[in-house]
Amino acid sequence: MWLFLLFLAVPLIEIALFIQVGGWIGLWPTLGIVVITAIAGTMLVRSQGAQTMHRLRRSFDELRDPTEPLAHGAMILFSGALLLTPGFFTDAVGFALLVPGFRNLVLRELKKRIEVHSVVSRNGQWQSAEDDVIDGDFTVEDRPPHSGPSGWTRH
């Protein structure tokens, strides 16, 4: 139900803001602002996305938990989608998500609502961080490489 209300409320807010701003400054300046925010947002999303990708690679290289850079990357991606959507409300939310402090606040609030389970490797075996062990056996079959099509596609 809340998703329906969100999809109903956001366009209504955008229409109301377009009417208000258009009435204050006119049609062409209003359209100009929408285009300029889309261009500026795209440039900011590209630069912050590249920085976040660098942090993600570094966390992989240092074998650290990549959760935070991944979450920041997802928020930057969502920010880009909002900034490309014409409107003042979506631009405001999109630009807010480009501020690292705001993203940290959102991430902190999300962490309160999400339960995370970790898996670790001990002595070459994967185990849950809560010490719930799932034991299993597997065999590796040495087969010659298949020379024809995989069978997953039809020709």
Q: Specify the pLDDT at position 48.
A: 92
Q: Specify the pLDDT at position 104.
A: 93
Write out the H or E segment, with its range, that includes residue 27.
helix 27-61
The token pair at 13 is 């807010």
Helix, strand, or coil here: 136? coil
Cβ-based burial of 116 (10 A; exposed 0-12, middle 13-18, buried ≥19): exposed
pTM of this structure: 0.70
Residue 53, C-beta contacts closer than 8 angstroms, at least 6 positions apart: 73
Rounded CA gap, 110 and 49, in Å? Answer: 20
Tally of CB atoms within 10 A around 147: 5
pLDDT in tens, 41-87: 999 999 999 999 999 999 988 888 888 999 999 999 999 999 988 89
Rounded CA gap, 91 and 88, in Å? Answer: 5
Q: Specify the pLDDT at position 147.
A: 65
Q: Specify the pLDDT at position 49.
A: 92
pLDDT in tens, 77-117: 999 999 988 899 999 999 999 999 999 999 999 888 888 77
| Among 138, 132, 137, 135, CA closest to 120 | 132
pLDDT in tens, 1-38: 888 998 899 989 999 999 999 999 999 999 999 999 99
pLDDT in tens, 119-154: 666 666 655 555 555 667 777 777 666 666 666 666
The alpha carbons of the chain give a radius of gyration, in whole angstroms, of: 24
In the chain, where the domains are located: 9-128
